[in-house]
Structure 1
Amino acid sequence: MPLPQPIPFKPEVEQILPDEQTTIAGLNEAFDQILETTARNYKHAVRAVHAKSHGVLVATFTVNPNLPDHLAQGMFASPATYEAYVRLSTNAGDILPDVVSLPRGMAIKVVGVRGPRLSDAEGQSQDFVLVNGPVFQAPNAEKFLGKLKLLAKTTDKMESGKVALSSVLRGVNKALTAVGIESVAINAMGGAPNVDPLGETYFSVTPFRYGDFVAKFRLVPASADLKDRSGVEIDASDNENAIRDTVRAEVATINGRWNFQVQLCRDIEKQPIEDPTVEWKEDEAPFETVATLSIAAQDSWSAYNVRNIDEAMRFSVWTGIEAHQPLGNINRARKATYRHSSDFRQATNGCPIHEPR
């Protein structure tokens, strides 16, 4: 049975709620509690989410040639090769020992992407912010705010309790996984497998405009040296930075490659725009490869890259071109909150946040 045609993009695919600005203000208040607590304790401001980095990489992002019309959209309309920067992270707003196992994140900044820019998007970069799971933990920003308020109250408190809870939840998660159940909530609380980030598959989770269409994105290990790390767990029992050290040792010797893929929306009921807790099923909306992300052997924790990528850059889904506009309630809430977090870091650390050229 042939697949339905991709749904055309039009502004009406979004359904804006009347109280979104009130929710965004609440999110900023909760993030302030996290930001101020961690800055006071660390004597240095860190990100409100995904505070802990495991590696910062220089990469190459290559758009594939001869893409069919439905994939040759936006920055993928023509073959091109770009320099890119990659940040690997864990999703908490405080910097915890790696034995507290949480979902992984990968942020990509592709430099030199031409085209009309999104409102307030400086520079000429296109950012992609991804996590190693296909769905978000809340259906909308209001529900996420409720979870965030609880997290803000526990930021940088009861570290030993978080370590113990994470150990228990990992056991629960393994039992559930054995019978085919995956819990986003348990993962977010510290029960995620403590996996090597280089072997993970990463998802945008939320949808974006894809030129004339609407899509989600995915990044999949393609080279053997990355595939071999898929699902491999890291023992962090006696090293609070075990993930960073593992990644550093691995990246020093490999030439890794991921496939960057697009999943076009083909049925707005089955692939909703506004609820990122609903997984877009691959048999109803297949992923198609449009580009590759490649890294050469390098030092993933060099002082230069830590200073210039981890400290001096922001990664935001709202840094990019109009052809890849973020869509949906969660993405709309991310615009002001991402800026709020990076402005706090900039003011507190006295380090200007900049876009590379």
Structure 2
Amino acid sequence: MTEPSTAWREVVAPDEEHRHVKQAEAFTAMQLRKSAEFGVGRALHRRQRVALRATLEVPADLPAAARQGVFASAATYEVWLRLSNGGFDVAPDSKPDIRGFAIKVLGVPGESVFGGPAASQDFALINHEHFSSSTSEEFTAITTGAGGGAVGVLKAVVRSPRIVGGLKEVVGAVRKPFGGFATEDFFSAAPIKCGPYAARVRVLAASTDVNPAAHEDWPADVYGRLATAPLVHEVQLQFFLDEERTPIEDAAATWDSPYVTVARLVIPQQEPDEAFAAKVEAARFDPWNAVVDHRPLGEVMRARKVAYRPSQENRGAD
């Protein structure tokens, strides 16, 4: 593998904390409006489509740089998966949208980023390699504006004309054809620590066999595949090399470094389980549910730290 660098740095602006609080308030207001319409739920990725049990299998022969955190030694972990439509509305599966692939790795060793033993290591992934906006400020303006429909988008553009480019990027991302949760790659789109290194995360598709009718019912596609065989995904890390090729603070950048496989995510054959699905729906999937060696990095991740907590409290998350 290409030798990664430990020379990554975060750059925190003096007014960042204030801006992040204001952005969290905007998301909270949108969440409450949508909960009044659709019932209590998340601000984004509101519609859970599939809840699955899985295992994360870490091999013993990883490169030295990858042997950090949950990948430090050979192990098999219990995993919960939440597969979702990314929007703030409860929309049909056929509607174009960002899709989410949230992973909760249970029983992990190590200290939490907040102190004390870690309860889990979470990875929040989407079906796009990077975010549509470089900063959380742009992302908030676009997303909360879109939450208000066409009028909301127009108001957002009037307030912040610079978001037009990001808005076009979002429209392009949402309209990109989606083949299904088993046949698409998913990405963290922002970096995390990997011990002294930094990396983005990717989960590779388990299959290349796309079902043309899958977009009408994502759960039926997933469970139909599981009726015949397990789904096996590769988990990969993409390491920081330098600020030009792999910038830490620019969430809209596509990183130019190779991926390294560090684990297998195995989804065994199973049928829908309503009680388990309710437990997953109530759970907190948060990139800041992390061990110290996998602390989230970059401005967008720091903004998520502030925004997720009130969202979780508003829906009474477990």
TM-score under structure 2 length normalisation = 0.89
CA change 1:252–1:23 in 2 (3 A) is farther
Q: Which runs of 4+ in 1 moved over 4 A?
A: 120-123
- Tell me by how many angstroms 1:235 deviates: 5.8
| Paired residues of 1:63 and 1:78 also in contact (CA < 8 A) | yes
Aligned residues: 302
Choose which of 246, 250, 268 in structure 2 pairs with 1:275: 250
Are residue 292 (structure 1) and residue 269 (structure 2) matched? no
Are residue 216 (structure 1) and residue 200 (structure 2) matched? yes
Structure 2 unaligned spans of 5+: 153-167
3-state SS in 2 of match to 1:149:
helix
- Tell me by how many angstroms 1:34 deviates: 2.1
Q: C-alpha separation between the residues in 2 aligned to 1:191 and 1:67?
A: 37
Are residue 305 (structure 1) and residue 280 (structure 2) matched? no
Are residue 327 (structure 1) and residue 302 (structure 2) matched? no
Structure 1 unaligned spans of 5+: 158-182, 347-352
- Tell me by how many angstroms 1:19 deviates: 2.1
CA change 1:280–1:143 in 2 (3 A) is same
Q: C-alpha separation between the residues in 1 aligned to 2:148 and 2:218?
A: 26
| Paired residues of 1:194 and 1:234 also in contact (CA < 8 A) | no
Q: C-alpha separation between the residues in 1 aligned to 2:111 and 2:232?
A: 29
Partner in structure 2 of residue 265 of structure 1:
240
3-state SS in 2 of match to 1:116:
coil
| Paired residues of 1:87 and 1:106 also in contact (CA < 8 A) | yes
3-state SS in 2 of match to 1:118:
coil
3-state SS in 2 of match to 1:25:
helix
| Paired residues of 1:7 and 1:265 also in contact (CA < 8 A) | yes
- Tell me by how many angstroms 1:120 deviates: 6.5
Q: Which moves more between the two structures, 121-130 or 71-80?
A: 121-130
AA paired with 1:218? R
Q: C-alpha separation between the residues in 2 aligned to 1:235 and 1:108?
A: 22
AA paired with 2:23? L
Q: C-alpha separation between the residues in 2 aligned to 1:199 and 1:291?
A: 18
Partner in structure 2 of residue 185 of structure 1:
170
| Paired residues of 1:121 and 1:318 also in contact (CA < 8 A) | no
Partner in structure 2 of residue 64 of structure 1:
59
Q: Which moves more between the two structures, 27-36 or 257-266?
A: 27-36
3-state SS in 2 of match to 1:221:
coil
| Paired residues of 2:214 and 2:221 also in contact (CA < 8 A) | no
- Tell me by how many angstroms 1:121 deviates: 8.0
Partner in structure 1 of residue 189 of structure 2:
205
AA paired with 1:34? M
RMSD of the alignment, in Å? 2.1
3-state SS in 1 of match to 2:204:
strand
| Paired residues of 1:109 and 1:315 also in contact (CA < 8 A) | yes
- Tell me by how many angstroms 1:287 deviates: 0.4
- Tell me by how many angstroms 1:25 deviates: 2.2
AA paired with 1:257? V
3-state SS in 1 of match to 2:65:
coil
